[in-house]
Chains A and B, each alone.
Chain A
Amino acid sequence: DQQVKQNSPSLSVQEGRISILNCDYTNSMFDYFLWYKKYPAEGPTFLISISSIKDKNEDGRFTVFLNKSAKHLSLHIVPSQPGDSAVYFCAASNEINNDMRFGAGTRLTVKP
């Protein structure tokens, strides 16, 4: 069973606009959520995270929003840049059992 879902396999946006990537989860025991970015032929790299005690975390152009009641999180990138083009994975974990689950990924393309 896929406990973390990214329902959009791809997203295309224009440079300078906002990119919004979405993620849903089913396990209410998850208490830590992360976004990873992956370029071809490289491993995923950590981008930003949020604890379940918060509903928003910002880091420069990247903001993650968490809606626990809806079991939904999103990553906003603004303004989007061509270098942001990559596959973005959403992940969720629980501190007690260290079981991190990943979504299937969303391929973001930012057009110049």
Chain B
Amino acid sequence: DADVTQTPRNRITKTGKRIMLECSQTKGHDRMYWYRQDPGLGLRLIYYSFDVKDINKGEISDGYSVSRQAQAKFSLSLESAIPNQTALYFCATSDPRQGGNQPQHFGDGTRLSIL
């Protein structure tokens, strides 16, 4: 079983719809992240959370919101989807208890297409 699970894996929807992407993890990590990947731009950070009561904006948070329902769950919402939010979305986790900088562990991604 995957340590970081994203649902759905693929979603096609229409402009103006509300979309929620979900992420759950079994790694027991406190820190969780949402990124989007666009061709030629790599991964860009949308939001991150260091624990259940902590939410922080990333590089490109406009048009998105998040909810950290529990240590293991971090969901990303698009309140009113627009076509330029079509992208591959990744959730990631990391464990600060190992000290200092630590690599992040990624889910397999959600491919979102907005028509």
Q: Which segment of B11-19, B68-76, B78-86, B96-104 sits at the interface?
A: B96-104
Contact B107 A43 (CB under 8 A): yes
Docked CA distance A95–B109 (Å): 25
Contact A104 B104 (CB under 8 A): no
The chain A residues found within 8 Å of chain B, CB to CB, are: 2, 4, 6, 9, 31-32, 34, 36, 41-46, 49, 51, 89, 91, 93, 95, 98-105
How many CB-defined contacts (below 8 Å) exist between A and B? 57
Q: Which of B15-45 contact A (CB under 8 A)?
A: 31, 35, 40-45
Number of chain B residues close to chain A: CB under 8 A: 24
Find the B residue at minimum CB distance from A45. Answer: B106
Contact A104 B106 (CB under 8 A): no
Query: Any chain A CB within 8 A of the CB of B95?
Result: no
Find the A residue at minimum CB distance from B38. Answer: A104
Find the B residue at minimum CB distance from A49. Answer: B103
The chain B residues found within 8 Å of chain A, CB to CB, are: 4, 31, 35, 40-45, 48, 50, 58-59, 90, 92, 100-101, 103-109
Q: Which residues of B contact A49 (CB under 8 A)?
A: 101, 103
Q: Given A99-B45, A103-B42, A42 and B108 touching (CB < 8 A)?
A: yes
Contact B90 A44 (CB under 8 A): yes
